[in-house]
Structure 1
Amino acid sequence: MNRSLHLLLDYLAGGTSAGIAIDVGAHHGLFSRALLESGHFAKVVAFEANPQTYEKLNKTPPTQAGMETVNLALGDTDDELELYSDSDSATASLLPYLEGSQRGAVHSTRVSVKRLDNFLATRPDLSQIRLLKIDTQGNDLSVLRGATATLEVHRPIVQTEYIFLPLYVGQCTPKSIESFMKTIGYSLYSLGDIHISAQGQLAFCDAIFKPDETVMTSTPPYIRIDDNASYEAQIKILTQTCADRLSLINGLTNEVDALRSARSSLLQRIFSWVR
């Protein structure tokens, strides 16, 4: 969970555990489990469309209490569609890969798709939806459209994915997501987990939206959030600095040991002269 989302949830809930989080595109469940461990939610419902990935979601590690998993794709229709995946299961999408964006051979699997609104209509036990997280590789806008009633009734915090690079055929754009969210009374709150390409171009990030009626007051101090590349560079600098300091300490220790040895030798000579 990125820091902005954690701070926002903590601010709104006062650190209490209540309500439900919906994780669409749960993959192996790392984010779902982080949500439960944060203490902000009593239950997380994790949706994963890929049957093979869904098996891993339930096995490694074992599903914990408060977490429900569903082998289902979400979108803006109730249907069966092709799910495309390559050698990296995290990039699986209902949208075909653009030529050159896939890693290795591409396979497709027929999967069931449902609107979140229709799914929740059959689950009256899932009330008080406080967070809707979506990561469906370019198909997030379709999921949002299929969750319009849920957003209008429950008014949860929403985390979706902004993709800046062309990766999938017909992928939604950050602008299209933000425009849709504005029509249902949501505003962009923060960006997190920002990734860049090897050439420094924006690749993708998390986008967090809050309902317009949720009034937030921003006060200092302000926290600087760097991208992963900056953190890695800082870690390398700190590691080298620590190594240099350790080398200096070892050198000084050796000098102290040498001085002690010389002092001991000198004292022995003095004692021998006195005798």
Structure 2
Amino acid sequence: MLVAPASSNVIPGDPRVGSRAVTKQWCFVGTVTFAIFANGVYVVVGTAVADPNSSPNKGTATLEFTVPDVTPGTYLMIGSGTGCDEKPSQVGVDFTIRERLGGNYPPVGCQASLSSASASPGESVDVQALCFKGEVQFFFGPSDLDLGRVQANNNGLASLSFVVPNVPIGDYVIKVSGTGQDGVAMVMSVTLAVVAPTPTDRTIVPPVSVAPASRGGILAFTGTDVGSLIRTALVIVAVGVALLLSTRSGWRLLRVAR
């Protein structure tokens, strides 16, 4: 059953033969097959797995494809698979294919690039693309997270700096969409590898053990030491007095002292 075109789209509209375009269909489960219905024939352009957590539309399947070599005209892009209700489903949208430009498209030298081929969530990455004019949009990953919009400069360069979102480790496609300098809608893409953050250095420095200070001088004695010295001195004095009293000379000294 073919449902309303409102549940699908092709980005950009009116792509050229041989150019890259993106189609999105939603409310699917599992693998979705995309085909262009051209001149009574289905021309399969690829498959994609629907994302059950996509937003704002659940079950969105997104495919970037090369527009096949068909006669320019209006065609139907059809997505076929299992619908959200677990029943066979088809979704279609009309779009127009324009004639091919001479040679490759995008033109040679027109490409998207990244400042780094890999980055971790939270890190900043620069993406730039050549051969655009006017407003250019940037998207991240299968759910086409909107990274922002910029104006291409006079040389056709559009560049944007973005922070890698908190996503699982893996490869993600960065799409750049806008109007080429020839006035034709154009989509470019480049892949970013999202990697695990580099572990920080958490070397633990062992605590420094300090040996008790040696008691090498007078100031090193504590109150307990002084008390012991006093008691020892009293014992010595008492013994000396006892010895003195045990002799006659000692008694005489005591009498004189009185």
TM class by smaller structure: under 0.3
Which has the larger strand fraction? 2
| Structure whose alpha-carbon radius of gyration is higher | 2
TM-score by length of 1: 0.20
TM-score by length of 2: 0.21
Identify which of structures 1 and 2 has the higher relative contact order when contacts are C-alpha pairs closer than 8 Å and 6+ apart.
2
